[in-house]
């Protein structure tokens, strides 16, 4: 066996034990283990870190490429230096304590093990085998696996302040991964900081999708993604052109983390005067709510959510969160396209006499135009409705008109799958409840962290209705004709959503006939559109109803159409067409 083969064998072995190490680190963090077992695990962590150093060195010793200072080499150097510093501090503390220090709090060592796992796994070729799993099947399976793992993690003793049943853990994990926000137990009091960190991680993974992370890490360390993987991702996300897949995924991650970082900083500034919170608690609150807002999850670390007395009159916080979840609900591809358009306009304005910055038509594509107009129109309709119906009701507590306006804007925007509430949802008037159901059903925009039938679906359905009323045989907008497949997909999504919601309402009403029907309908629309708003009903659901709502949340996140595509294999297109017949409709 030559040196290169030995290196590959060592690399594979390191990946295997790093997977085991991550599992052990989770168990070590989630359970209170005997000291002797913690010490054994501690030695195991150090072995993994030592092997990672050997593999990293071997990667550069046995490579045939010349050693260059690229992004991967910089990453390896920085992580190695950081781990060496951590180990030095770690062993210094051990020596000072006479080798008797407790080992259950070595968070940095566990993080080093996790980094080793990600680094070594990412160095292998990641490839979606379309013959083994259809892209839609892989998409659904990835969410299902994360939900089940998340439920098991939330059941660990150190994640909760009291025992959590599997049904409640499954509901919470589904709500977090599907970025919904419905809760059956109080996130603030039922979960420890460790449990809340797990929920925050599930929200981030669920919002972006595990495939986004895996593909990016594979690209970062390997320098490319296979053609088959790009084709699969393009098919799952309806991206136009496989050449845009990697660049789009990179932009998604960069924009996400940049917006979350800015939002966290602004939130931290806006809550500096909250009593009984030290700086570390304020920092955790800021990061948690920035991630929850951008991913349109609606989870909060306060028992009353944003309706808490210390938060519901904080109008700057409301504006920051509203802008964050509106930005996250616009859709990643739309945001990237808008940012590119704004950069182009700024460059043209600054360099108006430079011939290199000539006019570029359709830089803001039709998807972005339809999404921006529909989003703006729905926000305006929601704001007007809330101000009319609730001005002297739930908005009466806000003495200034500006306070009413900001709270009304937040209340109108949050049904677009955000799920935060700054008013008592149980006190809403009936017209506002119906308006909220309508806004929840439409939801956010395509390729976003939000749910619902999506703004583009609603826009296409409306444009189709107007074209039929005008006697037109095609849909035209912005001097473009909407493709027939888009119209067919839109109406399929709409009726399938109503089918799922109607089935959920029927099952819950049959199991718990004593529940108020309008509250059940509201709950099911909220679950399917992954909103998270509730008319104070979630805690009253039975175990069967909780499972029904969990299924609705999952189906709403992956979409019923995707499930049908996963179950029904694509039929081969035939080279013929039957005679066309018109069916009597009206």
Q: Pick from 263, 284, 301: which residue ends a domain?
A: 301
CA distance 244 to 239: 8
pLDDT tens for each residue of 453-481: 999 899 999 999 888 888 888 888 888 88
Collapsed DSSP state (helix, strand, coil) of residue 406: helix
Percent of the chain with pLDDT over 90: 29
Query: Structural domain of residue 70, as residue ranges?
Result: 3-122
Task: Report the phi/psi class of residue 534: left, alpha or beta, with left for phi > 0 and alpha for psi in -120 to 50.
Answer: beta
Please, what is the angle between helix 166-177 and helix 135-154, to 10°?
Answer: 130
Contact partners, residue 120, CB within 8 Å, separation at least 6:
11, 14, 15, 18, 52, 55
The pLDDT of residue 103 is above 50: no
In a shared domain, residues 187 and 101: no
List, for residues 270-314, the tens digit of each pLDDT value: 988 787 888 888 999 999 999 999 988 889 999 888 888 888 899
**Do 86 and 139 fall within a single domain?**
no
Instruction: Answer yes or no: is 162 within a domain.
Output: yes
The H or E element containing residue 215 is helix 210-222
Q: Are residues 201 and 144 in the same domain?
A: yes
**Over the stretch 51-100, which tens digit does the pLDDT of each residue have?**
777 777 776 666 555 555 566 677 677 777 777 777 777 677 666 655 55
**Could you report the per-residue pLDDT of 22-47, keeping only the tens digit for each?**
888 888 778 877 877 877 887 888 88
Q: Are residues 140 and 118 in the same domain?
A: no
For residue 583, being part of any structural domain is answered with no
Higher pLDDT, 513 or 237: 513
Residue 94: predicted pLDDT: 65
What is d(CA 218, CA 233) in angstroms, rounded to the nearest whole number?
14
Least confident segment among 48-57, 100-109, 312-321, 521-530: 100-109
Average pLDDT over residues 415-433: 89
Any domain includes 116: yes
Residue 75 shares a structural domain with residue 114: yes
Joined together, the tokens standing for residue 413 give 């925007």
Distance in angstroms (rounded) separating the CA atoms of residues 231 and 252: 18
In a domain, 111, yes or no: yes
Place of tokens 């997977």: 19
Give the chain's domain count.
2
Q: pLDDT at residue 330 above 90? A: no
Q: Does residue 353 sit within a domain?
A: no
Which token pair is 298?
């609606």
Q: For residue 227, is pLDDT > 50?
A: no
Sign of CA dihedral 25, 26, 29, 32: negative
Q: Are residues 111 and 155 in the same domain?
A: no
Task: Determine the Cα–Cα distance for residues 533 and 519; give it in Å rounded to an integer.
Answer: 11
Tokens matching residue 529 = 């559109």
Give 359-412 pLDDT, tens digit per residue.
Answer: 667 678 888 889 889 999 999 999 999 999 999 999 998 888 999 999 999 999
Residue 289: count of CB within 10 angstroms of its CB: 28
- The strand pairing partners of 481, in sequence order, are 476
Where among 267, 301, 335 does a domain terminate? 301
Residue 316 has a CB neighbour count (10 Å cut-off) of: 13
**Residue 507 near residue 555 (C-beta atoms within 8 A):** no
Of 449, 118, 111, nearest in space to 290 by CA? 449
- pLDDT (mean) for 337-344: 81
293 and 144 in a common domain: yes
Which of 136-140, 311-315, 498-502 reaches the highest mean pLDDT?
A: 498-502
CB 231 within 8 A of CB 265: no
Collapsing DSSP to helix, strand or coil, 582 comes out as coil
- In-domain check, residue 225: yes
Residues 194, 295: one domain? yes
CA atoms within 13 A on the CB side of 130: 14
- One DSSP character per residue, 58-126 reads HHHHS-SSPP---HHHHHHHHHHHHHHHHHHHHHHHHHHTTS---STT-HHHHHHHHHHHHHHHHTSPP
Length of the chain: 586
Token readout for 170 is 């499954």
> How many distinct helices (H) and strands (E) make up the chain?
22, 2
Q: Which of 446, 435, 302, 455 is nearest to 376 (CA)?
A: 455
On whether both 287 and 154 belong to a single domain, the answer is: yes
Q: Which of 269, 285, 301 is the last residue of a domain?
A: 301
- Strands of 252-313, DSSP E: none
221 and 184 share a domain? Answer: yes
Q: Give the chain's largest Cα–Cα span.
A: 88
Q: Is 38 exposed, middle or buried (0-12, 13-18, 19+ CB in 10 A)?
A: middle
Cβ 179 vs Cβ 449: under 8 Å: yes
112 & 139 share domain: no
- Say whether both 181 and 294 belong to one domain: yes
Residue 483 lies in a domain: no
- Let me know if residue 422 belongs to a domain: no
């Amino acid at each position: 066996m030559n040196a290169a083969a030995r290196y590959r064998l060592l690399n594979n072995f390191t990946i295997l034990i790093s997977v085991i190490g991550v599992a052990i680190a989770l168990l070590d963090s989630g359970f209170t283990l005997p000291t002797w077992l913690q010490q054994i695990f501690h030695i195991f962590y150090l072995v993994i870190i030592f092997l990672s150093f050997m593999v990293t060195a071997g990667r550069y010793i046995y490579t045939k490429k010349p050693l260059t200072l690229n992004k991967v080499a910089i990453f390896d150097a920085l992580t190695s230096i950081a781990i060496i510093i951590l180990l030095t501090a770690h062993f210094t503390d051990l020596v000072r304590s006479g080798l008797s220090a407790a080992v259950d709090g070595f968070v940095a060592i566990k993080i080093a093990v996790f980094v080793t796992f990600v680094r070594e796994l990412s160095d292998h070729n990641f490839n979606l085998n379309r013959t083994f799993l259809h892209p839609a099947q892989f998409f659904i399976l990835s969410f299902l696996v994360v939900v089940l793992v998340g439920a098991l993690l939330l059941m660990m003793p150190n994640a909760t302040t009291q025992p959590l049943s599997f049904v409640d853990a499954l509901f919470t994990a589904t709500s977090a991964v599907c970025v919904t926000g419905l809760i059956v137990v109080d996130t603030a009091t039922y979960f420890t900081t460790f449990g809340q960190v797990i929920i925050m991680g599930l929200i981030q993974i669920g919002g972006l999708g595990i495939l986004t992370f895996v593909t990016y890490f594979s690209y970062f360390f390997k320098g490319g993604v296979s053609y088959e993987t790009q084709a699969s991702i393009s098919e799952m996300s309806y991206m136009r052109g496989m050449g845009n897949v990697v660049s789009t995924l990179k932009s998604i991650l960069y924009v996400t983390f940049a917006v979350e970082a800015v939002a966290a900083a602004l939130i931290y500034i806006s809550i500096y005067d909250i009593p009984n919170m030290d700086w570390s608690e304020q920092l955790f609150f800021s990061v948690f709510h920035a991630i929850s807002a951008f991913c349109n999850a609606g989870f909060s670390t306060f028992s009353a959510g944003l309706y808490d007395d210390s938060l519901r009159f904080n109008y700057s916080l409301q504006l920051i969160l509203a802008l964050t979840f509106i930005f996250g609900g616009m859709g990643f591809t739309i945001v990237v396209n808008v940012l590119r358009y704004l950069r182009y306009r700024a460059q043209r304005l600054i360099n108006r006499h430079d011939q290199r910055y000539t006019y570029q038509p359709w830089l803001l594509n039709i998807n972005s135009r339809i999404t921006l107009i529909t989003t703006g129109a729905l926000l305006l309709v929601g704001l007007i409705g809330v101000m009319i119906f609730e001005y002297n009701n739930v908005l009466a507590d806000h003495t200034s008109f500006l306070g009413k306006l900001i709270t009304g804007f937040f209340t109108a925007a949050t049904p677009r799958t955000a799920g935060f509430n700054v008013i008592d949802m149980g006190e809403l008037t009936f017209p506002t409840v119906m308006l909220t159901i309508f806004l929840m059903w439409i939801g956010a925009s395509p390729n976003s962290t939000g749910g619902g039938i999506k703004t583009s679906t609603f826009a296409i359905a409306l444009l189709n209705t107007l074209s039929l009323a005008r006697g037109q045989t095609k849909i035209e907008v912005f001097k473009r004709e909407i493709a027939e497949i888009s119209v067919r997909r839109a109406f399929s999504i709409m009726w399938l959503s109503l089918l799922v919601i109607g089935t959920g309402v029927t099952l819950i009403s049959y199991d718990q006939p004593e529940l108020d029907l309008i509250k059940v309908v509201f709950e099911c629309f909220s679950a399917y559109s992954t909103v998270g708003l509730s008319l104070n009903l979630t805690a009253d659901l039975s175990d069967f109803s909780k499972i029904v709502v969990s299924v609705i949340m999952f189906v709403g996140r992956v979409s019923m159409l995707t499930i049908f595509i996963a179950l029904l294999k694509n039929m081969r297109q035939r080279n013929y067409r039957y005679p066309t017949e018109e069916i009597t409709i009206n």
